[in-house]
A and B are shown apart, each in its own frame.
Chain A
Amino acid sequence: MKARHFDISAQPGFATVAMLTFVLLYLPIVTLVVYAFNAGNSIALWEGFSLRWFISAAQNERVQEASIRSLVVAAIAATIATLAATMAALATTRTRPYRGLTFKYAFINQPLMVPEIVTAVALLIVFSRIKVWTGYSGIGYLLAAHTAFCIPFAYLPIRARLEGMDLTLERAAADLYARPWMTFRRVTLPLLRPGIIAGFMLAFVISLDDVVITEFVKSAGQETLPTYMLGQLRRVVTPEINAIATAFLALSVAIVTIFFFVNRKKA
């Protein structure tokens, strides 16, 4: 009989609990996805495979409208947030500590530290008053709120990338007659690109996912996909909501997968 060698890293029962965790993590998602393809009206009884709920969701005007709004808000907010975060990262990294640096860190990361519901009601208070004063109740409020909480998410990967960057490369460019702007365009920016892409995608996903702040800031008729779904959950649920969730899920997973590989390539 072959002797089993002693495994240094093993701990009894750990692998079982780990497997349980993975089952726990994926079982609900898998259930949700499976019932999106149910032919029947129920999310409990399986009545055969069908794409009818995907079609019905795609034809639902309110879903269409909410999806487009979600994507537009996420695209605009993530773009502005990434721009602002890139600039802020350039101003807060690779320098000796200066007056105001800690303040800037705290300020930029503030949306990460305050519970969403608190920010949401605070925005409700302020924006509702501004809405009354100005009479404007457009999408601007949603964009501003989303941009603000996207900034720290865009900032973190960009800052990490900048801090890992070799300062001598920029010095070398200056030594080779590149003016500051040229140094930035030809050396800093190309090397920073993976960080910027990662930051943008992160910000995009975060904006796309937001429920709480959107729910409190939106004016009437400004549903995004998550707030639409939240509203629907109160009613009798059909697999249509599973279909929407599945499509949403596919988009998130795609973005995260890209993010994962972009980030890995940098290392």
Chain B
Amino acid sequence: MASAQEAAEAAARSDVRNRWLLSAPALLIIFFAAVGPLFIMLAYSFMAKGDYGDVKFGQFSLDGWFSVLFERDIFDDTLSLADANLSVFWRSLKLSVMTTAVTLFLGFPTAYFIATRPPEKRETWLFLITIPFWTNLLIRTFAMQEVIRNEGILNSVLLALGVIDRPIQIMFTDTAILFGMVYVYLPLMVLPLYAAMDKLDFRLVEAGYDLYATRFRVLWRIIIPLVKPGIIAGSILVFVPSLGAYVIPRVLGGGKNMMLGNYIELQFGQGRNWPLGAAISITLMAVVMVALLFYVRSATRGEAGREG
């Protein structure tokens, strides 16, 4: 009969084998249809561009990465910054930061409002936040479009009230994109903020008032520092998808007001510059990854802080 040690080793070995066998399907599917293609795209970014899209296989070239920031004049070969690219980068960054700020401004009081409701009512309010969150993004974008169109509700109401005498053109501007992104990503701000506030110990707020703090000071010195992990989490969760937005600027921004997502698409379509598209994609992915890593680190540190 086998000894206890052998049995233990055999059990450990079969454990390891089973763990890999069990995770194999998930890992293979994700490798085939998510991770693997990213590596191929990385390779593409280092190849010469084909004349009609695609790339010239095996032809190493740094042009893709080079043209992310610079362009070479066709005639005199001088270098200059690629203004078209930079304006897209700038718009993406600007709109993402603004979206984050506006959602934070709206989301913080909302999350606080929900967190201070009686427990049995909180679920309902939270549910009201969750519903739009799970509604199709395209449908929500479309719904926003109906509100801000020239003939939409916003303009109709303003006209009826006599605030304006002519519809304001919001569609196909950066403002339209901002409206859309705020609307679409607002739940992403409220949910982590709520999670942080739900854990807030209101005895600390009481202690603040007990020590002569005003409402504003309690908010500024006690509540905000305590829910800071939630603020960071919410901001990153809004900023990251805003930066990579594709549908919202396409629908609300029209053809001209492109963000990174649309600009990437352009390179793979009419732009016929796959290496550039690949290089921008990888840059975008890198930025997002760094932001998410920061998020994970601050989230785990927040966790540890609460423990200690």
Q: Which residues of A contact B (CB under 8 A)?
A: 6, 8-18, 20-22, 24-29, 31-32, 35, 42-45, 80-81, 83-85, 87-88, 90-92, 95, 98, 100, 104, 107-108, 110-111, 113-127, 144-145, 147-149, 151, 155, 205, 208-209, 211-212, 216, 226, 229-230, 233, 241-242, 245, 248-249, 252-253, 255-256, 260, 264
Bound: A120/B292 CA distance, A: 20
**Closest chain B residue to A24 by CB distance?**
B183
Assess whether A253 is in contact with B23, with CB atoms less than 8 Å apart: no
Within B183-229, the residues touching A (CB, 8 Å) are 183, 186-187, 190, 202, 205-206, 209, 215, 219
Assess whether A88 is in contact with B215, with CB atoms less than 8 Å apart: no
State whether A92 and B23 are in contact (beta carbons under 8 Å apart), knowing that A230-B247, A249-B135 are contacts in the complex: yes
- Beyond the given A88-B23, A110-B34, A209-B136, please list 18 additional residue pairs across the A-B interface where CB-CB is below 8 A: A17-B105, A17-B106, A17-B110, A18-B112, A35-B146, A44-B152, A91-B22, A95-B15, A107-B31, A108-B23, A114-B285, A114-B289, A117-B264, A124-B268, A125-B278, A126-B37, A212-B261, A253-B135
Bound: A210/B70 CA distance, A: 34
Query: Cβ of A155: which chain B residues have Cβ within 8 Å of it?
Result: 26
Query: Cβ of B240: which chain A residues have Cβ within 8 Å of it?
Result: 115
**Looking at the complex, which one of B36, B247, B285 makes contact with A126 (CB distance below 8 Å)?**
B36
Bound: A227/B275 CA distance, A: 26
Segment touching A, from B60-68, B80-88, B123-131: B123-131
Assess whether A14 is in contact with B27, with CB atoms less than 8 Å apart: no
- B241: shortest Cβ distance to chain A, in Å? 7
Question: B153 near A: Cβ within 8 Å?
Answer: yes
**Looking at the complex, which one of A25, A32, A205 makes contact with B128 (CB distance below 8 Å)?**
A25
Bound: A134/B205 CA distance, A: 66
Assess whether A14 is in contact with B113, with CB atoms less than 8 Å apart: yes
Bound: A197/B131 CA distance, A: 19
**Looking at the complex, which one of A121, A151, A209 makes contact with B30 (CB distance below 8 Å)?**
A151
Segment touching A, from B2-10, B38-46, B71-79, B297-305: B38-46
Assess whether B135 is in contact with A226, with CB atoms less than 8 Å apart: no
**Looking at the complex, which one of B16, B107, B278 makes contact with A121 (CB distance below 8 Å)?**
B278
Query: Cβ of B19: which chain A residues have Cβ within 8 Å of it?
Result: 91-92, 95, 98
Bound: A208/B114 CA distance, A: 30
Question: B116 near A: Cβ within 8 Å?
Answer: yes
Bound: A20/B109 CA distance, A: 10
Assess whether B37 is in contact with A233, with CB atoms less than 8 Å apart: no
Query: Cβ of B143: which chain A residues have Cβ within 8 Å of it?
Result: 28-29, 31-32, 245
Assess whether A209 is in contact with B219, with CB atoms less than 8 Å apart: no
**Majority secondary structure of chain B interface residues (helix, strand, loop or mixed):** helix
Query: Cβ of A14: which chain B residues have Cβ within 8 Å of it?
Result: 109, 112-113
Assess whether B139 is in contact with A249, with CB atoms less than 8 Å apart: yes
Q: Which residues of B contact A (CB under 8 A)?
A: 15-16, 18-23, 25-27, 29-38, 40-41, 44, 105-107, 109-110, 112-114, 116, 123, 127-132, 134-140, 142-147, 149, 151-153, 156, 183, 186-187, 190, 202, 205-206, 209, 215, 219, 240-241, 243-244, 246-247, 250-251, 260-261, 264-265, 268, 274, 277-278, 281-282, 284-285, 288-289, 292
State whether A12 and B33 are in contact (beta carbons under 8 Å apart), knowing that A91-B18, A116-B246, A124-B268 are contacts in the complex: no
**Closest chain B residue to A95 by CB distance?**
B19
Bound: A73/B236 CA distance, A: 31
State whether A25 and B186 are in contact (beta carbons under 8 Å apart), knowing that A12-B215, A17-B106, A118-B281 are contacts in the complex: yes
B116, B123, B219, B278, most chain A CB atoms within 10 A: B116
Bound: A11/B219 CA distance, A: 8
Bound: A120/B37 CA distance, A: 9
B105, B106, B281, most chain A CB atoms within 10 A: B281
Assess whether A108 is in contact with B116, with CB atoms less than 8 Å apart: no
Query: Cβ of B244: which chain A residues have Cβ within 8 Å of it?
Result: 115-118
Query: Cβ of A18: which chain B residues have Cβ within 8 Å of it?
Result: 109-110, 112-114
Assess whether A9 is in contact with B116, with CB atoms less than 8 Å apart: yes
**Looking at the complex, which one of B33, B123, B241 makes contact with A123 (CB distance below 8 Å)?**
B33
Query: Cβ of A209: which chain B residues have Cβ within 8 Å of it?
Result: 136-138
Bound: A125/B243 CA distance, A: 22
Assess whether B144 is in contact with A9, with CB atoms less than 8 Å apart: no
A28, A88, A116, most chain B CB atoms within 10 A: A28
Bound: A107/B20 CA distance, A: 13
**Closest chain A residue to B151 by CB distance?**
A44
Query: Cβ of B107: which chain A residues have Cβ within 8 Å of it?
Result: 21
Bound: A100/B22 CA distance, A: 13
Assess whether A125 is in contact with B40, with CB atoms less than 8 Å apart: yes
Assess whether A125 is in contact with B274, with CB atoms less than 8 Å apart: yes
- B13: shortest Cβ distance to chain A, in Å? 12
Query: Cβ of B140: which chain A residues have Cβ within 8 Å of it?
Result: 28-29
- B179: shortest Cβ distance to chain A, in Å? 10
- B20: shortest Cβ distance to chain A, in Å? 7
State whether A21 and B40 are in contact (beta carbons under 8 Å apart), knowing that A14-B109, A121-B281, A209-B136 are contacts in the complex: no
State whether A117 and B261 are in contact (beta carbons under 8 Å apart), knowing that A149-B34, A211-B138 are contacts in the complex: yes
Bound: A226/B209 CA distance, A: 52
Query: Cβ of B152: which chain A residues have Cβ within 8 Å of it?
Result: 31, 44
Bound: A256/B16 CA distance, A: 37
Query: Cβ of A212: which chain B residues have Cβ within 8 Å of it?
Result: 246-247, 261
